[in-house]
């Protein structure tokens, strides 16, 4: 058990199991620990044989690692999921409306809800997208919303992933592994399916095709190549959807369309699910040194000849400084209060906020505005004096590059250890598919777990692991 102010998602304070975990608890109590240890090793073997890896950067050479997987599922009730789903859909619709607005009339700036410089001086704002209408009006076709839980009914949005959210392959492989190893558990629990995600992804992308496409649109996945940290996922999703995985050198502009090389010549693509950053997408329009993109693709896109998912310029919606305005953004575009709350956030670009953050570094989490993967952040309560001194200098040198948040008492779920179950902190990344006529939220998502006792860092690049996430039918 954890101390009383941290929610343990499996256990009540009196030691009884919370409702979603009751069937799991009765099953677990009847299991032999040595059998479960063998199953944990089997899961690791499955991941190794399948090649489910990620790359760790920041060393002399990028290191490929198997992502740690824990066999104890994270279980949510249908009631809990319903509230989350309503909040996620509201937020995603607001993000799409915000993106359309800032690349068109910028009404939210005129209203004074978001300062002009937060947009005009933001590195993620893409002037090339001003006035561009994406097919179907969709900017963020695939979204990952990172959630943390601090109480029975209290979930916070930690950050929005609107550029190229990753991790869905782990969600799918985690479920496949659990089904293979513990079929009896699924017989005892009515768990909502996640396996339809690749089919739903294809349908959502196809529904977002431009008007020039055929009745059955051609979809392809654009990858930077085998050295990218998420290459396994790019190949996995292309394979699961039954579409081509392409690199920049496989594509060219033919008769005003983006076309891919095939054994029968070049074939036009209608929808390109790109996993290449904006700056590298088109060397004629952005970084001229890029060899990962397609020269001229932005011109085809602006002319309505292809759908790029997610749309260029969406990165400004998951910028961590813009994040701090999301409650106002949600209310501005939906006319409703945000169902899911933000974590309180100090923008270090504001002098008063900066002064507060500098005075309270020991207690705060400080993040780079454009950071990801757990890199470039400070967790004050666990940082050394040297780390805090270094971060203080970074903040003073470039305050606008950082935001700060309080250290939350994240909920815990059990992980399997040699001694049995032990609580560890988690977050959750549900995946959302957006097409012109629908918002589809997969019931579950990727639960990331901090495998070190007491750690709040769940990123795989920082030693975290993953779990299967169950949403029960109730």
Mean pLDDT is lowest, of 134-138, 195-199, 234-238, 390-394, for: 390-394
Rounded CA separation 368/376 (Å): 6
On average, the pLDDT of the chain sits at 92
Per-residue confidence (pLDDT) for residue 370, from 0 to 100: 72
Listed in sequence order, the residues at least 6 apart from 136 whose beta carbon sits closer than 8 Å to its beta carbon are 207, 208, 307, 435, 436
Per-residue confidence (pLDDT) for residue 57, from 0 to 100: 44
Where on the phi/psi map is residue 298: left (φ > 0), alpha (ψ -120 to 50), or beta? alpha
Per-residue confidence (pLDDT) for residue 60, from 0 to 100: 41
Hey, where are the domains in the chain? Answer: 344-407
Listed in sequence order, the residues at least 6 apart from 354 whose beta carbon sits closer than 8 Å to its beta carbon are 346, 348, 395, 399
Q: Which residue, among 156, 155, 163, 132, has the nearest Cα to 326 in the 3D structure?
A: 156
Distance of CA 414 to the CA centre of its chain: 23
How does pLDDT run across 331-360, given as a tens digit for each residue?
999 999 999 999 999 989 889 999 999 999
The two tokens of residue 24 are 């799991």
Rounded CA separation 131/114 (Å): 19
Per-residue confidence (pLDDT) for residue 320, from 0 to 100: 84
Residue 47's pLDDT band (cuts 50, 70, 90): confident
Q: Which residue, among 282, 306, 308, 302, has the nearest Cα to 131 in the 3D structure?
A: 302
Which overall architecture, per CATH, does domain 344-407 show? 2-Layer Sandwich (3.30)
Average pLDDT over residues 202-213: 96
Determine if the peptide bond prior to 310 is cis (ω within 30°): yes
Q: Is residue 321 over pLDDT 70?
A: yes
Residue 380's pLDDT band (cuts 50, 70, 90): confident
Mean pLDDT is lowest, of 53-57, 128-132, 456-460, for: 53-57
């Amino acid at each position: 058990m954890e101390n009383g102010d941290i929610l343990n998602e499996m256990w009540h304070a009196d030691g009884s199991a919370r409702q979603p975990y009751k069937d799991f608890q009765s099953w677990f109590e009847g299991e032999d620990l040595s059998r479960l240890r063998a199953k944990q090793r089997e899961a690791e073997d499955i991941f190794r044989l399948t090649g489910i890896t990620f790359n760790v950067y920041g060393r002399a050479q990028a290191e490929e690692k198997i992502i740690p997987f824990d066999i104890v599922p994270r279980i949510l009730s249908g009631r809990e999921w319903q509230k989350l789903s309503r909040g996620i859909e509201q937020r995603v619709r607001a993000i799409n409306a915000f993106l359309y607005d800032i690349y068109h009339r910028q009404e939210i700036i005129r209203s004074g809800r978001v300062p002009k410089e937060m947009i005009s001086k933001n590195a993620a704002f893409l002037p090339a997208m001003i006035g561009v209408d994406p097919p179907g009006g969709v900017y963020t076709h695939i979204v990952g919303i990172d959630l943390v839980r601090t109480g029975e009914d209290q979930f916070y949005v930690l950050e929005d992933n609107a550029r190229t959210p990753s991790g869905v392959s782990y969600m799918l492989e985690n479920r496949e592994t659990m089904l293979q190893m513990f079929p009896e558990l699924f017989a005892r629990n009515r768990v909502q399916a996640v396996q339809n995600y690749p089919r739903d992804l294809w349908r959502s992308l196809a529904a977002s095709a431009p008007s020039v496409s055929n009745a059955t649109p051609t979809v392809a996945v654009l990858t930077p190549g085998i050295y990218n940290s998420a290459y396994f996922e790019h190949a996995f999703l292309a394979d699961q959807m039954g579409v081509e995985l392409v690199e920049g050198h496989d594509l060219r502009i033919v008769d005003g369309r983006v076309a891919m090389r095939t054994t029968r010549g070049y074939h036009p693509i209608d929808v390109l699910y790109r996993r290449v950053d904006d700056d590298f997408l088109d060397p004629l329009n952005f970084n001229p040194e890029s060899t990962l993109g397609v020269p001229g693709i932005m011109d085809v896109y602006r002319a309505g000849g292809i759908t790029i998912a997610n749309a260029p310029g969406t990165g400004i919606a998951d910028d961590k400084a813009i994040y701090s305005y999301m409650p106002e953004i949600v209310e501005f575009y939906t006319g409703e209060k945000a169902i899911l709350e933000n974590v309180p956030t100090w923008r270090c670009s504001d002098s008063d906020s900066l002064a507060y953050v500098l005075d309270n570094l020991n207690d705060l989490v400080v993040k780079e505005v454009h950071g990801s993967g757990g890199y470039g952040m400070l967790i004050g309560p666990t940082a050394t004096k040297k780390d805090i001194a270094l971060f203080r200098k970074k903040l003073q040198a470039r305050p606008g590059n950082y935001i700060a948040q309080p250290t939350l008492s994240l909920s815990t779920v059990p992980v399997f250890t040699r001694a049995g179950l032990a609580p560890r902190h988690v977050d959750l990344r549900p995946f959302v598919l957006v097409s012109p006529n629908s918002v589809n939220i997969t019931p579950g998502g990727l639960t990331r777990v901090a495998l070190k006792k007491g750690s709040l860092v769940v990123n795989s690049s920082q030693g975290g692991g993953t779990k299967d996430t169950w949403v029960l039918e109730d």
